[in-house]
Amino acid sequence: MTRLTPAARRRALAIGLPACAALAPLAGRAHAAAAARRITDQTGRTVELPPVVRRIVAITIPAASMILCVDGGAERLAGMNPASRDDLTAGLLGRMFPAAMRVPSDVASENFAPNVEALLAARPDLVVQWGDRGDAIVRPIAAAGLPVLTLRYGDSALAGDWLRLIGQALGKAERGDRLAREFDEALADIARQGRAVPDAGRPSAVYFQRLRSALVVAGQGTSMDSDIRRIGARNPAGTLPGFTPINVEQLMAWNPDILLLNNFEPGLTPAAVQADSRLASLRAVRERRVYAFPRGGFRWDPPSQESPLALRWLQGVCDPAGPRLDLRAALVDRYRDWYGHSLSEPEIDGILKIADNGGSHRYAEWFGARRG
Amino acid sequence: MATVAPAVTHAPPAQGLGGSPRAGWGLLALLLVTIVAALCAGRYALPPSALVDVLLADLGWPGIEAPDAAARIVHQVRLPRIALAAIVGAGLAISGAAMQSVFRNPLAEPQLLGVSSGAAFGGVLGMMLSAHPAAIVLGAFAFGLGSLALVFWLAGGRGGMSTSIVLVLAGLVVGAVFAAGVSLVKLVADPQNQLPAMVFWLMGSLASADAAKLWIAAPVILPSLYLVYRLRFALLALSLGDEDARSLGVPVGRTRALALAAVGLITAASVAVCGIVGWVGLVVPHLVRLALGAGHRMFLVNVTLAGAIYLIVVDTIARAATPVEIPLGVMTALLGAPMFAYLLRRLRAGGIER
């Protein structure tokens, strides 16, 4: 063997070490194969898991906060979607799990395309990925020899099974199953109450996935459409496919009772909508029934472990009689269980966006802190 | 290129030099009819009586009060949109006519200059860097002008302007670079929040038309329109060939530079206010040429009016036909390409092509 200069040796080490690190999990898995566990994921694929999952990567955006919720910490979260970082920095999640801020977010792009080398460097025992967005984002992970757990999107009710599957994968099936059961029961209860709303009393509500640069509403096949219908309201956009651009006139022709604002566009507040002169003759604007979705450990508009509370909130703002339970108390109770966190009053105000929504119809009365 | 050129410049000789002023008055009347029809059309059912009330109330007719919703729809939705469609349509159509003269090629259109790609890049960059709606307009306009300057610089300034092949290549290079830039921005943009908006904006839409956008488009596009109109005889001479134009005393390089500057300004402003709307500059001049003749005495006036009518009609379909807001660029291509194919068949059937 030729003699290496010290500099060349350092270089060789620098190249060689990560390569060994990347190969290590492959070797580890060969040993574990004998005792592999099998679970069936949401697209019906059989996933073989090592006896203990020590490192898990979440490419689907809600899975990162869901893993923190099920596992009670960030120790096993080995990688996440770059969009999940936003949940940590802008939402409460980062304050509840400061360790999660150090989790790498280079394992995939925001549109879920995996970066296989970064994935291998994260040495995961399991990767959570969407299963209904084409094989192209799943196959490279499987081809790299990593087990993939695939989830489906489209209706908030699907998120109950996410809890169940993540619980099983992390070896916390009992907690995952209980959280899933509570999730399913809450959604079934809300759906039952929704069905009981008489046809004449159903308000119409439109969710804006985008309002500032264009008007994009949630139609058929979106979780927001299923949520609006679940709580007993009507979605006039429900006949349109997916997230669809419309114009102001179409919105005026629908003239919905309630406008629901997304958690994605910066600066989108009920006040900004109230100030838009094009929208001023809308019934919802005249009656100030414009509400921005809250944001807790996750955004409340898309599905997550927090969907039961999000749906209670939605039920509350759509029902002329207001919410059917004390959402602030429910938040304190649930956050203790989900995240082991005791919410302060200002934190609750922040989640429910009391400042932004405070000017909307009866919001402070329904969701604000009781004074005195 | 050279074999096709005479087909255009000497195209249907039937009605002499671009028809009589009568054709122009006819188009003006058609434009007014189109505007009234477009004011009546929309997703919100507005009875013509409400429309009349709104317009009478605007004129200060005593004792008439328009319903609030109707007034809002007319003033804040339909009127700005129709006005912007008219201005952008007129601008793009006259740009196409000017490009076809400058390059002596019937396939020339405003996008050839690379300015729309530059403006598109500026727009998506603005969208990525700021959520404020003004960022799109400012970015698109700034980069549109920047790419125009780049094309002029690449084509070698005053001297180089005399060879159209250099200009085409410069436009191609600038367009390609900024098109790649658009792809890059789309790749790194936030796909949950920014990417869908970018994709929709790039397909072109007048859905967000308002008075502010009119104030951006009109002061740029209308003077540019007038500039091209002033150049109409020089452009006619240019379309005969550089040598012929020079022998007629036309300053070839200067005419070309001025016309392209006007085209660049119009393109940048139109992309800034409504994204990329293709095919208008290609289809409308040919339609006018076929129907009314190509002489530049009235030709550019006819093209301007026809462009306004065309885009108002297309945009009215885009906003009123379905509950979904159809992207304008999709509609202009969907209608424009078959129209162009039909023209092509007619030209071939007429035996003009050799």
Tell whether A244 is within 8 A of chain B (Cβ). Answer: yes
Between CA A61 and CA A80 the distance in angstroms is 8
The answer to whether the Cβ–Cβ distance between B72 and A250 falls below 8 Å is: no
**Mean pLDDT in runs of 10 for chain B (354 residues)?**
38 46 89 95 88 87 81 91 97 95 87 93 93 86 93 73 78 95 91 81 89 92 96 90 90 90 95 92 90 78 96 95 92 89 76 42
Helix residue ranges, H only, chain B: 5-9, 21-40, 48-58, 68-72, 79-102, 115-129, 133-154, 157-160, 164-188, 195-202, 211-230, 232-238, 242-247, 252-274, 280-292, 299-320, 328-349
pLDDT at residue B158, as a whole number: 53
Per-residue burial over A330-358, b if 16 or more Cβ lie within 10 Å, else e, is bbbebbeebbebebeeebbbbbbbbebbe
Interchain CB contact of A89 with B (< 8 Å):
no
Q: Is A214 touching B (CB cutoff 8 A)? A: yes
Query: Are residues A281 and B76, on separate chains, in Cβ contact within 8 Å?
Result: no
Query: Does residue B97 belong to any structural domain of this protein?
Result: yes
User: What pLDDT sits at residue A307?
Assistant: 97
Which site among B74, B201, B325 would you substitute to test the A interface, given the most A Cβ atoms closer than 10 Å to its Cβ? B325
Assess if residue B353 is contained within a domain: no
pLDDT tens, chain A, 372 aa long:
344 455 555 554 444 444 444 444 444 444 444 456 899 999 999 999 999 999 999 999 999 999 999 999 999 999 999 989 888 988 789 999 999 999 999 999 888 999 999 999 999 999 999 999 999 999 999 999 999 999 999 899 999 999 999 999 999 999 999 999 999 999 999 999 999 999 999 999 999 998 987 899 999 999 999 999 999 999 999 999 999 999 999 999 999 999 999 998 888 999 999 999 889 999 999 999 999 999 999 999 999 999 999 999 999 999 999 999 999 999 999 999 999 999 999 999 999 999 999 999 999 999 998 754
- For residue B114, being part of any structural domain is answered with yes
> Would residue B338 count as lying in a domain?
yes
Could you tell me the CATH number of the domain that includes residue B322? Answer: 1.10.3470.10
- In single-letter form, the type of residue at position B43 comes to R
C-beta atoms of A212 and B131 within 8 A: yes
Q: Which long-range contacts (CB under 8 A, 24 or more apart) does B135-141 make?
A: B136/A213, B136/B201, B136/B272, B137/B213, B137/B216, B137/B272, B137/B273, B138/B272, B140/B268, B140/B271, B140/B272, B141/B216, B141/B220, B141/B268, B141/B269, B141/B272
Domain-embedded: residue B37: no
Find chain A residues with C-beta within 8 A of B127's C-beta: 213
Neighbouring C-alpha atoms within 13 Å toward the C-beta of A170: 31
Supply the ipTM of this predicted assembly. 0.79
- Interface touch A249/B43, C-beta < 8 Å: yes
Per-residue confidence (pLDDT) for residue A17, from 0 to 100: 45
Say yes or no: A281 contacts chain B, CB-CB below 8 A: yes
Render pLDDT for B205-243 as a digit per residue (tens, 0 to 9).
998 888 889 999 999 999 999 999 999 989 989 888 888
Report the pLDDT value the prediction gives residue B208, as an integer from 0 to 100: 85
What pLDDT, on the 0 to 100 scale, is given for residue B15?
Answer: 40
Q: What residues of chain A lie within 8 A of the CB of B193, using their CB?
A: 264-265
- What pLDDT shows up at residue A29? 46
**Domains: count for chain B:** 1
**Three-point CA angle A225, A211, B40, nearest 5°:** 95
Please report which helix (H) or strand (E) contains residue A47, including its range: strand A46-49
Kindly list the residues from chain A whose CB atom is less than 8 angstroms away from the CB atom of residue B211: none
Considering CB atoms only, which of A213, A240, A243 is closest to B133?
A213
Domain presence at residue B180 = yes
On whether any CB of chain B is under 8 Å from the CB of A246, the answer is yes
* SS3 assignment, position A2: coil
Torsion of CA B65, B71, B72, B73, to 10 degrees: 150
Whether residue A90 lies within 8 A of chain B, CB to CB, comes out as no
Contacts of B290 (CB under 8 A, 6+ apart): B11, B12, B343, B346, B347
pLDDT of A1: 39
In a 13 Å sphere around the CA of B19, the CA atoms on its Cβ side amount to 20
Strand partners, A261: A208, A292
Q: What are phi and psi of A129, to 5 degrees?
A: -140, 155
Q: Beta strand pairing status for A258-261 and A205-210?
A: parallel
3 state SS of B19: coil
pLDDT at B47: 86
Identify whether B104 is part of a domain. yes
Structure tokens at A325: 């339970």
Is B17 domain-assigned?
no
Q: Which of A110, A265, A280 sits opposite B72 (nearest CB)?
A: A280
CA B18 to chain centre: 21
pLDDT of residue A16: 45
Residue A120's identity, in one-letter code, is: L
- pLDDT on residue B220: 95
Residue B235: which domain range? 73-344
pLDDT of amino acid B295: 66
